[in-house]
Amino acid sequence: MAIKTAILDDEPLAVELLAAYVNKTEQLQLVDASTDVFKILKLVQEHGVELLLLDIQMPELTGLQFMKIIGNSCKVIITTAYTAYALDGYEFNVVDYLLKPISYERFTKAINKLADTKKLPVTEPVVRPDHIFVKSDYKLIRINLSEILYIESLRDYIGIYTDTARQKIMSLDSLKNMETILPPSDFVRVHKSYIVSLQKINFVEKNRVVISGAHIPIGDSYQAGFFSRINNAAGS
């Protein structure tokens, strides 16, 4: 099965060249190629990428900062014109390090190295996420999961309410996407417009949840699933 591959580089010509390399490499499947850091970050967070070709020197977010955010979500091949980044890059256990300009021959060597690593039986520990990053006002904001009270859908945006911020954090995103990112053991959808933290519920009153003074409705189609979760938690 082809490896789902994404490309992130702030140079359009570099993106175009790498996309051409990926498209003519049988082992790879190109899912996206972009200069948009936040677009590719969202794609990686949604688990739609197995391999990322990542430039190091970018204006909005450096490649090293990007790797710190995504952790071990996918394999990374670094692409850069700066040899000074080589040592730092290898500290992240990336597959390979490609110095620009990149020839197709050198590119295929990196892919073969990736294929060799995939053959090795590796057991990786399951890492329980304790935070997420969301884009808000052209910034990436880190939010600890333990601080989230609930999330509200506001048309094309979501509002994230926490017990530390005075105002809700607005982000151009959807509840559907948040459901794929948040751990289901701690968060549950209670309404078409709301996701709540199970740990932050003060009490349930009739068909609504009360969290820090906020009264959140429980939708008819979500009641069975929600009350099942509540009963299981009460019995454990």
Give mean pLDDT, residues 132-141.
87
Q: What confidence score (pLDDT) does residue 234 get? A: 58
- Does residue 93 register a pLDDT over 70? no
Residue 68 has pLDDT above 90, yes or no: no
pLDDT reading at 232 higher than 80: no
What whole-number percentage of the chain has pLDDT above 90?
A: 53
Question: For residue 235, what pLDDT is reported?
Answer: 54
CA distances from residue 159 to 98, 105, 139, 188 in whole angstroms, order as listed? 40, 47, 15, 16
pLDDT of residue 230: 80
What pLDDT sits at residue 125?
44
The mean pLDDT of 108-135, rounded to a whole number, is 71
Output the pLDDT for position 89: 46
137: closest CA among 180, 177, 167, 182? 167
188-207 pLDDT tens trace:
999 999 999 999 999 998 89
What average pLDDT does range 140-152 have in this prediction?
Answer: 94
Calpha distance 54→188 (Å, rounded): 34
Contacts of 47 (CB under 8 A, 6+ apart): 73, 180
If phi over 0 gives left and psi between -120 and 50 gives alpha, with beta otherwise, what is residue 136?
beta
- What is the C-alpha to C-alpha distance for residues 192 and 169, in angstroms, rounded to an integer? 19
**In which order are the strands placed within the sheet that holds 169-171?**
169-171, 157-162, 148-154, 194-197, 187-191
Residue 20 has which token pair?
A: 């051409």
Cα separation, 115 vs 117, in Å, equals 5
**pLDDT value, residue 123:** 41
With tokens 């390979």, the residue in question is: 96
Give the whole-angstrom CA distance, residue 135 versus residue 173.
Answer: 9
Q: What share of the chain is helix, strand, coil (3-state, %, to 5)?
A: 35, 30, 35
The pLDDT value recorded for residue 121 is 44
Q: How far is CA 47 from CA 42, 185, 190, in A?
A: 9, 18, 24
* pLDDT (mean) for 148-171: 95
Q: What does the alpha-carbon distance between residue 222 and residue 79 come to, in Å, rounded to a whole number? A: 46
Average pLDDT taken over every residue of the chain: 86
Cα–Cα dist 141/204, whole Å? 30
Per-residue confidence band for 61, with pLDDT thresholds at 50, 70 and 90: confident
- Cβ neighbours of residue 182 closer than 8 Å, sequence gap 6 or more: 132, 145, 195
The predicted-structure confidence for 202-227, as pLDDT tens digits, reads as follows 999 889 999 999 999 999 999 988 98
Alpha carbon dihedral 174, 197, 68, 31, in 10-degree steps, equals -30
Burial of 34 (C-beta count, 10 Å sphere; 0-12/13-18/19+): middle
- All structural domains of the chain, each given as residue ranges with its CATH number in brackets, are 3-119 (3.40.50.2300), 131-235 (2.40.50.1020)
